[in-house]
Structure 1
Amino acid sequence: MKRLGSKHYFMVLLSGLFIFFLFVSWSPPEKIRVVSYNVENLFDTIPSSSYADHAFSPAGEYKWNGARYQRKLSNISTVLNSINGWELPAIIAFSEVENSRVVEELLYRTKHDMDDSPYFNFDVTNGKDGRGINVAIAWDRRLFRKIEREEIPNYSFVDTSHFPGRHTLYLVLETLFSYRSEAMKADRDTLHLYAIHLPSRRGGVRESEQKRVLAAKNIRNHLSDLLSRKPKAKIIIMGDANEDPTDPAALLLSDSLLHLCEEFSDRGLYSHYFQGKGWAPDHIIVSSSLVRSESETLCIESPKAQVYAPLFLQDKRFSMPRPFRFFSGGFYTGGYSDHFPIYIDLNYGKRATISER
């Protein structure tokens, strides 16, 4: 057997020490960014026999070939890699993803660990939407582990007047750390997450409103049961409700909770642009336990969500900022999505107060 030279031994030892010190020196970030992003039609290129996604296939209306699919993945991953500066967001709720394959390939394009694996784990629904779009939640596997999951259909299965439609994803994530330093203290904690995508406004706002209300009632029933068992549960509802914060389904979801986007219009913020104006169909709603958190556990930093709309996400053809879409008016433009992502920050024990609103 050939002996290893001293130089080789030195390099192996150095690599081992580097990995060891990297591991022991890692600490959770002082802020945990939570993002909600409708990525608009993130389909793979393979047509399905179960739902109507032929438009997003190589022979379909959008000529959805490998090059366009890879461009879409690259563009959305750019958003994820930049939305929290040098750090990745800790939790991301996605709307309009087709399946686990597209989510996995998207997350693979985000920043990687030393072993060339993404920092994220994820879960995705398997709903009954006619176009095959689902919601997903990704989380930083260094920070959280999944301890529970459930899918909530938009409509009750006993209601035969409606197609079952999309599902809401409910996940329970537990923090993986208990951390102490001069700068920060962090106790173990648990988050209850709902990723939503309520029925669209297709057919008219008022004509489709009842569908969104029914879906919101199903989510609310699940939420009420959770709160009856765990009154101090830390809850985050996030996603595309296809409604403004003051519309019926959104009000039903946010009843007794804190809607962090309700002042978007007063602040001149919006996440979507439709028929000549900006509006706020994307929502982040939290329970009061995330505002009045006990010391050293997770709480919101501010009772106001933010919109991420840097110049590269804006369509430069218009003076009014609007999302730079991947397709616009049926034409390929190579942008990102028809929504801007929104986000909040959580921290440990530095409580936000309602007076900050």
Structure 2
Amino acid sequence: MVHELKELIAFYNVENLFSPDPPSVHRLDPTLSGLRNWDEKRYKNKLLKIAQVFQLIKEAEETLPMFIGFSEIQGQAPLDELVTMAPFNSEYGVVHYDSMDERGVDVALIYDKNKVQLVSSEPITYFFEIEDNNPANYDTTRDVLWCKFQYAGQLLNVFVLHLPSKRERNINRPKREFILKDIREKVININSEQNEAVIICGDFNENPDDENVKNLLYDDQSDKILIDPFFELFQNKSYSTFHYKNGLLFDQIILSKEFFGTSFPLHFTSAKVFNHPKLSSWDRKFAGRPFRTYAGTRYLGGYSDHFPVMTEFTVNL
């Protein structure tokens, strides 16, 4: 039996992958991470858990993703350590920039150096004015990471994002709208000037049926320039994270039309939430939900409060 070659692209919100906090002088001192008792032992357990996730993916899919976007990373050091571990075995490169996020969390990307070549990378930084009549005051958020890779003679633009969160009656919705409009303009320029493929992966803090996400998919003439394969998953109640009783699919991978043609080296076949039973909560009350690292300040020792998401492609070379 002949098996078609396939490739995967993944995104994973890893829930506060922070370096361990230095010992506090006083018991009630605030920590750099903002986490309770985030020491070397818990950090190492977290790294091991994240590596295990991708070992499970490798066993289930018979390959590892060629790109993996991450969010909730504090600095590059945890990823530098992660890629030395199995199943990555130092064969993956790391792209990361420190952002001005107030909690110090960033997005990042790792990539299989045997399959793709990094051409360029840059962070896209956003500033938002605070309405207090003081021009020196502004609000910051996590950068968007923009990388360009070469694969089989084709250029791939990969955007990794973690949009401002839904909190305080959705006060950040205009910020998400602004960032997505900016990315949309960049995609339109890529289409008109370079005609290169685009991948946008991340935690959108919006579901696939929200207007901000749907508007990203169309140009100024209302022609579709991007396809969100996670829309159908969401319609079928496939979720990557939960808020109280609500299932959410904030984690998505959006693709340009090249991946749906017949002549491009990567042809889209499926999208999925990798909700392996080992990554799910042991508590019957939360069955089917991610086994998280913390619940508030209570340490559970799990993987993340999100499941990874993936897109699968057949290879046409």
How does the TM-score come out when normalised to structure 1?
Answer: 0.77
SS at 1:262 equivalent: helix
Equivalent in 158, 167, 175 of residue 202 of structure 1: 167
SS at 1:33 equivalent: strand
Instruction: Identify the structure with the greater strand proportion.
Output: 2
**Is 1:43 aligned to 2:11, yes or no?**
no
How far residue 190 of structure 1 moved from its aligned partner, in angstroms, is 2.4
**Is 1:251 aligned to 2:214, yes or no?**
yes
Task: Give the unaligned 5+ runs of structure 1.
Answer: 1-28, 48-52, 176-186, 351-357
Bigger RCO of structures 1 and 2 (CA < 8 A, at least 6 apart): 2
Per-residue CA distance 1:141-186 (angstroms, 9 max, x = gap): 10011001121123479x96742321111111112xxxxxxxxxxx
Q: Percent identity?
A: 30
CA contact (8 A) 2:16 2:74 kept: yes
Equivalent in 111, 124, 129 of residue 87 of structure 2: 111
SS at 1:344 equivalent: strand
How far residue 111 of structure 1 moved from its aligned partner, in angstroms, is 2.2
**Is 1:32 aligned to 2:7, yes or no?**
yes
Equivalent-residue separation in structure 2 for 1:62 and 1:234 (angstroms): 42
Per-residue CA distance 1:173-209 (angstroms, 9 max, x = gap): 112xxxxxxxxxxx4332110001100112122x221
CA contact (8 A) 1:154 1:214 kept: no
Residue 169 of structure 2 aligns to which amino acid in structure 1? G
Equivalent in 310, 324, 327 of residue 291 of structure 2: 324
**Is 1:287 aligned to 2:252, yes or no?**
no
Counterparts of 1:51-70 in structure 2 under 5 Å? Answer: 54-55=30-31, 61-70=35-44
Q: Which residue of 1 aligns with 2:94?
A: 122
Q: What is the total number of aligned residue pairs between the two structures? A: 295
CA contact (8 A) 1:245 1:261 kept: yes
Q: Which residue of 1 aligns with 2:231?
A: 262
Q: Which residue of 2 aligns with 1:222?
A: 186
Counterparts of 1:1-357 in structure 2 under 5 Å? Answer: 30-46=5-21, 54-55=30-31, 61-85=35-59, 86-111=62-87, 117-155=89-127, 162-175=138-151, 187-205=152-170, 207-231=171-195, 233-255=196-218, 256=224, 257-294=226-263, 297-302=265-270, 305-318=271-284, 320-349=287-316
Equivalent-residue separation in structure 1 for 2:201 and 2:182 (angstroms): 15
Equivalent-residue separation in structure 2 for 1:348 and 1:31 (angstroms): 5
How far residue 321 of structure 1 moved from its aligned partner, in angstroms, is 0.7
Shift in alpha-carbon separation, 1:127–1:258, aligned structure 2, 3 A: same
Task: Give the unaligned 5+ runs of structure 2.
Answer: 23-28, 219-223
Per-residue CA distance 1:50-86 (angstroms, 9 max, x = gap): xxx95455xx651110000000000011001221324
How does the TM-score come out when normalised to structure 2?
Answer: 0.86
Equivalent-residue separation in structure 1 for 2:309 and 2:30 (angstroms): 30
Deviates more, 1:68-77 or 1:315-324: 315-324
Deviates more, 1:38-47 or 1:331-340: 38-47
CA contact (8 A) 2:15 2:72 kept: yes
Bigger radius of gyration, 1 or 2?
1
Equivalent-residue separation in structure 2 for 1:38 and 1:54 (angstroms): 24
Deviates more, 1:217-226 or 1:126-135: 217-226
